Structure 1
Amino acid sequence: MVIKVFLATSSGSTAIKKKQQDVVGFLEALKVDYTQLDIACNEDNRKWMRQNVPEEKKPANGIPLPPQIFNEDSYCGDYETFFDAKEDNSVYAFLGLPPPPGSKQAQVEEEEEQEEEAE
């Protein structure tokens, strides 16, 4: 499973650059394997991203802005949903990845499983 982060390397927007850096930096801190796909220099990447962001997730103008995050072909979300997952300590679930052993998220899931078994 490869996490794909669609970015615009030559974006003139400082807000977009900051969001992209935030996502990439956090994935690196978690040691999550990911691939950066540039939509500014590669028309195929731009087309693929635009076609695969679900309609209900597209902005009013219909053009999703980077960063957009996928797990293979499965849409995870944009910066706002990533940020929410980060705040909720649920980034692995957001990405569709199992939490690494020993992580807080793995411990929470383990406790929930034990509670369900006890019922």
Structure 2
Amino acid sequence: MTRDLDQVFAALADPTRRAILAMLLEDDMAVTDVADPFEMSLAAISKHLRVLMLSGLISQEKRGRVKWCKLEPDALRAASVWMQGFGQFEPVNLDAFERFLAAEVPPPEDRD
């Protein structure tokens, strides 16, 4: 599982790949349609798609002469479950922490 998570997080580290995943949230897309909004070659987009496919985040299927990309949510789900393990800690409320410090620690002029 560690290797799989490593691949998922490595794939998610690139903003272009995250943008591709966001596009695929809407629907399956042809590779050429995925490449359209980006200012890079089709070969460069294909490399990004390969990384996403190897990480399990997307799958590709040939329909006639067109290759289609589909989001595979299970890989993201595993990463999400792993990250939720860190959600057991309460977020720090800075206002409450400041009030606590004010009540517990005397101002600098009172410390002498």
Q: Could you say whether these structures have the same fold, taking a TM-score greater than 0.5 normalized by the shorter chain as the test?
A: no
TM normalised by structure 2 equals 0.33
Structure whose CA Rg is larger: 2
Bigger helix fraction:
2
TM-score by length of 1: 0.31
